[in-house]
Chain A
C-alpha cells in the first residue's frame, strides 16, 4: 500500500510507505489514545474512540494514516522512524523499536501516542 497524500486522489509524489509500515498484518483490535495536541491538526479524531486493527506499532500508525491522512508524517519522519520528540506506549511500557516500530500489539492493548516533554 502506498502512503497517499491526504485529500488527494493521486500519489502526489509521496514515496511508498516504508516497508515496515506497509505490511498487511492486521488482526488484533487495539485502542489508541492520542495526545490532545494532535487534535488541533486532525480534529476528526477528537472525541472519537479510536480503535484500529494491528499486530505491531507500525500497523497502528498505518491504520491511523488511513483514518487521518497526513498523521503518519506527524508521528514519523520520511524514513518511517518515530520522531525524536514523540513517544508511544503500549499499556504503561514505552516502545523499544523507534526505527521500525516493530513492537507487537495484541487485542485489547491500549496504545498511547504522546509528545515527549522536551522543554521547560
Chain B
C-alpha cells in the first residue's frame, strides 16, 4: 500500500480517491463544475495545486493547504509578460492556390491558453507547463511565476521575439489540447532529476524533448533515436510528438516516453531513445506512461487503438506492464471490461505508487489496482471525463 493520497482531475472538478470499508470511493472535494487539468501535491510544502481551465474565465491556479477540504485561487497567477510573442502557423483561403488554401506563419501575442502540468524540484522550485508553450518557474514557493525566457526564446522557436522578429521560423507546432481552440504548442511533461534539480527534461507537443542542466538557463534537444512515422524525415531533430515522459526517481537515467509514433525508452538520461513498441501485444499508440519509483525497467502503459481511432483496442481495456525495459510486455486485464469498452486514457491519467496503480478515462471510468496491475477494482463508472490521476 501507499501512504500517499490519490487525486483525480476531471472536466467537472477535483476528486479525492480513498478506500474505506474495503471499497474505493471518489469524493468531489473542489472546483465543482470547473475543468481541472491537473492536480498535484508539492512535497516541499504539502500544498495541493490544481490547474483549472474555466470555460469562460480563463486558466487559474488553485491551492489547498488542508488536504483538499478548501481551495482558493493562488494569489499569483500565471501570466505571459508584455512582449511575449511566438510564431504560429495559420491556414487561410487562397484562390490563387490550386488547393484553395495556403499556409502562412504569423507572430502572435502570447496569452495563457491552458495550464497543463506542474512539477516540484527538491530545491523548492515550482515549474508549470502551459499552452502556448511557455514554461513558468517560481523560486519563491508560488508567490510569483516568471516565464523561462531561454526556453521561450530558444532557437528552435525562432529566437528572441521580445526584441525583433527573430529568425522567422519555428520548429514547434501545435496541439489540439488548447482550451482556447488555438493551435499552439503545449508543455505537458516536466521531469526533474532528483539527484540534481537543475537538470530538467521537458516534453512538448509538438516539438520533442528538451533538456536543461543549468536550472533553465540553456536548453538543448534530446530527441536522438526518436522516430516519426508520419514525417518524410523520421529522424528529424524537431517535430516529434511526445505524449508524455516520466523518469524513474530511484534511477533517473531511466526515462519512459509514450509518443504519438510509439513507445520509447532511454536508460542513459535521454542521451538517446530506443523504440520499444510491441504492436503484436497492443503496445504502440497511447497517451500515458508511468514508471516504477525504484526500478527504471518497470513501466505501465494504457495502450489505445491507433492514432486514427484513439479508443480501447478491440473493445477490451487493458494496462500493459514491462519489467525488463520494454523487451517483453504483459497485458493486465483482470477486473477491466473486455467488451464494448471505448475508453481513452489521457497522458496524465495513469500513475503508480509502490504497489498501487490507478487510471481514469475520458468516459469517466476510474480503476485502482493494489497488486501492481494484476487485478483491478472499480472506483466509479460515472465520473466526469478524467484528465489526470495522480498520487500525492
Contact = CB atoms under 8 A, between A and B. Distances in A.
A84 B58 CA distance: 10
A78 B80 contact: yes
Contacts of B58: 73-74, 77, 83
Interface in B67-118: 73, 75-77, 79-82, 109, 111-112
B57 A74 contact: yes
Interface stretch (A10-18, A24-32, A57-65, A90-98): A10-18
Contact of B180 (A12, A84, A86): A84
Nearest to B77: A73
Contact of A78 (B54, B56, B57, B111): B111
A15 B81 contact: yes
A10 B143 contact: yes
A12 B79 contact: no
Contacts of B176: none
A107 interface: no
Contact of B76 (A13, A16, A84, A115): A13
A114 to B, nearest CB: 9
Interface in A1-27: 5-8, 10-16
A116 B111 contact: no
A85 B144 contact: no
A29 B58 CA distance: 29
B145 interface: yes
Nearest to B147: A13
Interface in A76-116: 77-79, 81, 83-86, 115-116
A103 B221 CA distance: 48
A37 to B, nearest CB: 7
Describe A's contact surface by its main secondary structure: loop
Contact of B146 (A11, A13, A84, A115): A13
A22 to B, nearest CB: 13
Contact of B75 (A12, A115, A116): A12
A45 B54 CA distance: 19
Nearest to A75: B57
A79 B85 CA distance: 12
B75 A15 contact: no
A119 interface: yes
B63 to A, nearest CB: 12
Given A5-B76, A15-B79, A116-B56, A77 B145 contact: no
- Of B54, B57, B79, B109, chain A has the most CB atoms within 10 Å of the CB of B57
B86 to A, nearest CB: 14
Interface string A29-65: 0000000011001000000000000000000000000
- Of A8, A12, A75, A86, chain B has the most CB atoms within 10 Å of the CB of A12
Given A13-B76, A15-B79, A73-B58, 5 more contacts: A5-B77, A8-B75, A10-B144, A13-B144, A116-B56
18 contacts: A5-B77, A6-B75, A8-B75, A10-B143, A10-B144, A12-B144, A13-B145, A16-B82, A70-B77, A73-B58, A74-B57, A74-B58, A77-B111, A78-B112, A79-B82, A85-B55, A86-B56, A86-B57
